[in-house]
Amino acid sequence: MNAQNPRRPYLRPMVGWWRRNPFFVEYMVHEATALFVAAYAAVLLVGLLRLAQGEAAWNGFLDALRTPLSIGFHVVLLVAIAYHCWTWFVIMPKTLPPILVGGRRLTPAAITGGGLAVAALASLALFGIVWGMAR
């Protein structure tokens, strides 16, 4: 940009701009969780295709899930998506319209805390359903 400008004005370089400020580092990290959400969706999509291909293909997929590489990868996915969950509800007070409860505006802490509590309940419910179905 501006390469043709004969006055050659100083342009502050933008390379690595987000590394100069901890606020933007956090922003880039929480944006990057999308890569891990996409990766997990891809894992599930491969699983669906293997399931559609029959029992041998599905068992191969299960064997792949049991490899140390896959377990380690899923630990990374777990950390990244848990961080997505945390930041999602930390940002939520800024993305929601003002909510009035009893004439008072709901505080950001209440929205974040409420969201995290609902996430914990939803996760427990999911685990309970899977546990019940697997017995």
Summarize as ranges the residues that interact with other proteins (CB under 8 A): 14-15, 18, 28, 31-32, 34-35, 37-38, 40-45, 47-49, 51-52, 55, 58-59, 62, 65-66, 70-71, 73-75, 77-78, 81-82, 84-85, 88-89, 115, 118-119, 122-123, 126-127, 130-131, 133-135
Residue 27: both structure tokens together: 């922003």
Residue with smaller CB distance to other proteins, 72 or 107: 72
Long-range contacts (CB closer than 8 Å, 24 or more residues apart) made by 91-94? 91/30
CB atoms within 10 A of CB 43: 17
Residue with smaller CB distance to other proteins, 3 or 104: 3
CB of 127 to other proteins, least distance (A): 6
CB of 124 to other proteins, least distance (A): 8
Label residue 129 left, alpha or beta by phi (over 0 means left) and psi (-120 to 50 means alpha).
Answer: alpha
